[in-house]
């Protein structure tokens, strides 16, 4: 089972580390006692979703021998007004750059990630409405 440890660092700052040996700083803005030294936890959720699906897509496209030179994932979340202010809607845009990319291969890789492989998306399903799109840029 994956493990994480989060340690208080003062103010509103926390440092989280994982069993893989990596750490990340979380903080709040000055208006609520933070120093703005790291991402907010809800931002990390969006970053995790983008990173998870991005890894899937790159892996699938490499297996298909597509010549991907870049992948940018833009993730936008809309939060509920009332507490706990969870995400109600999340929109993901995949911008895939490469040489002679097959639109069908990119579409299939995105669909496989979103419908089958991305564990972060699967975890968020039922909590937020998740929509996605992709576009291809010729390198």
pLDDT tens profile 69-98 = 999 999 999 999 999 999 999 999 999 999
The answer to whether 131 and 88 are in contact (CB under 8 A) is no
Tokens of 21: 């040996």
139 vs 27: CA distance, rounded Å = 37
Q: Does residue 34 sit in the same domain as residue 51?
A: no
Confidence of residue 1 (pLDDT cuts 50, 70, 90): confident
Domain CATH number, residue 124: 3.30.300.20
pLDDT band at 35 (very low <50, low <70, confident <90, very high): very high
Residues 30 and 50 in one domain: no
pLDDT of residue 2: 85
| Domain total of the chain | 2
Residues 90, 109 share a domain:
yes
How does residue 65 score in pLDDT terms, banded at 50, 70 and 90?
very high
**What's the rounded mean pLDDT across residues 99-108?**
98
Q: How far apart are CA 113 and CA 55, in angstroms?
A: 9
Q: Please identify which residue in the block is written with the tokens 């660092």.
A: 9
Q: Please tell me whether residues 50 and 116 are part of one structural domain.
A: yes
Range of 27's domain?
1-39
* Residue 31 and residue 11 in contact, taking contact as beta carbons nearer than 8 Å: no
Model confidence, pTM: 0.94
């Amino acid at each position: 089972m994956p493990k994480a440890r989060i340690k208080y660092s003062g103010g509103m700052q926390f440092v989280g580390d994982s069993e893989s040996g990596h750490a990340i700083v979380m903080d709040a803005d000055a208006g609520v006692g933070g120093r703005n030294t790291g991402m907010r936890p809800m931002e990390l959720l969006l970053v995790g979703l983008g990173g998870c699906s991005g890894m899937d897509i790159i892996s699938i496209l490499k297996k298909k021998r597509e010549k991907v030179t870049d992948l940018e994932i833009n993730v936008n979340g809309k939060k509920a007004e009332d507490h706990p202010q969870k995400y109600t809607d999340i929109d993901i845009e995949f911008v895939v750059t490469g040489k002679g990319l097959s639109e069908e291969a990119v579409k299939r890789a995105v669909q496989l990630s979103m419908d089958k492989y991305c564990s972060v998306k699967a975890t968020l399903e039922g909590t937020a409405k998740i929509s996605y799109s992709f576009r291809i840029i010729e390198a």
